[in-house]
Amino acid sequence: MQRNNCGTVWVRVVLMFTEYQCCFCGQSIEPVGPDVGGLLYTTNIDRLPEKQHDQQLWCHARCLKQHVHPSVPLYVLDLVEATANEESE
């Protein structure tokens, strides 16, 4: 088992199964499309690369939709729905 602690975010790997924690609700994320989703947070994005640090976070798609302002398009989730619709046709 590996454990990566960055604040309250964790990833636990047991044999071939990886468990992810949602950065919004704190619950485990079941690997059912479009989950598991990831976010990349970068500090000082407008500065030189050596001033930047980044962190990968994971979240439920439903939690992301709840927390992102309605004016921000989440086109990646639209793409997932479009792909699912194409596959069902």
Residues that bind Zn ion (CB under 5 A): 22, 24-25, 60, 63
Torsion on CA atoms 61, 28, 53, 43, rounded to nearest 10: 50
Least distance to Zn ion, CB of residue 75, Å: 20
Smaller CB separation from Zn ion, 13 or 26: 26
Alpha-carbon gap, residue 30 to 77, rounded angstroms: 17
Give min distance, CB of 38 to Zn ion, in A: 13
Residue type, 82: A
Write down the least CB distance from residue 63 to Zn ion, Å.
Answer: 3
